[in-house]
Amino acid sequence: MALNRPRVGVFGGAFDPPHNAHVALVQAALAQLGLAELRIFPTGDAWHKERALSAGEHRLAMAQLAFEGLPGAVVDARELRRAGPTYTLDTLRELQQERPEAERVLIMGADQAASLPRWHGWREILGLAVVAVAHRPGATGAGPFDPQALPRLPPGARFETLALAPMDTSATEIRRRAAQAQDLFQLVPPAVARYIDQHNLYRST
Ligand SMILES: Nc1ncnc2c1ncn2[C@@H]1O[C@H](COP(=O)(O)OP(=O)(O)OP(=O)(O)O)[C@@H](O)[C@H]1O
Ligand SMILES: O=C(O)c1ccc[n+]([C@@H]2O[C@H](COP(=O)([O-])O)[C@@H](O)[C@H]2O)c1
């Protein structure tokens, strides 16, 4: 029965570095989506990003510092260990095999939701997970994300809205500030700011 299926949240990102909007998004998901657990996946080989990411060990360590204090949130390193380009479809298939009784809820900001048709196997992804979308300023113009605007949306695709106060924080801006030796404490959790400092990350953009 679909109604009683436990829900597992799936939230992936480069987390280069994880920042306060990511934490707010995870808190909102835990509060609103009725999840049994929320698994957080630092991306391995981000085939879709032009820029090379920082070393996986740093992004994993920062994700653990950012999220692991939140009850129900678990950082899962499998995408970092997997060879080849990171495809969310592979992760969802693995999770389905591991917990066939559960419903997967794929959580993302509106910028990623609008680019879903460029994801590997996106129509299959929509058969394996409900997609919960949080507003991200600037991502979809003035209005909220509208799934009906996606071309060739498969029948049966399910979307939910995740209420999140608008935050214009981005990892790009944080890397830029770090390169200029500016303070990061308003933008990332304190432990992440200390980690960036101790490991001399983002000294150049
Ligand atoms: N300010 C934000 N509001 C809502 N969602 C966000 C925000 N920042 C990031 N996200 C979401 O978090 C997920 C992971 O994002 P990611 O790690 O790439 O951070 P980013 O800030 O977008 O990074 P970059 O600036 O390097 O592209 C994506 O689903 C993205 O949409
Ligand atoms: O599977 C894909 O083809 C795919 C394409 C674009 C993004 N994603 C995933 O979406 C998540 C957020 O991506 P990003 O670029 O905002 O860090 C992250 O887990 C990526 O691996 C996945």
Contact 104, 130 (CB under 8 A): yes
pLDDT at position 140 over 90? no
Which of 25, 62, 119, 125 most suits a substitution to test ligand 2, by most atoms within 8 Å of the C-beta?
Answer: 119
Inside any domain, residue 204:
no
Inside any domain, residue 36:
yes
Dump pLDDT digits (tens) for 19-43: 999 999 999 999 999 999 999 999 9
This complex has an ipTM of 0.99
pLDDT at residue 138, as a whole number: 82
Centre of ligand 2 from the C-alpha of residue 182, in Å: 28
Which residue's alpha carbon is at the smallest distance from atom 8 of ligand 2?
88
> Within a 13 Å sphere around the CA of 6, how many CA atoms are in the beta-carbon half?
10
Q: Which residues form the domain of 46?
A: 7-139+146-198
pLDDT at position 61 over 70? yes
Using the atom order of ligand 2, give the atom closest to the CA of residue 125. 1
Inside any domain, residue 203:
no
Q: What is the CATH number of the domain that holds 53?
A: 3.40.50.620
pLDDT at residue 204, as a whole number: 83
Centre of ligand 2 from the C-alpha of residue 1, in Å: 30
Contact 25, 11 (CB under 8 A): yes
Is this structure's pTM higher than 0.90? yes
Inside any domain, residue 1:
no
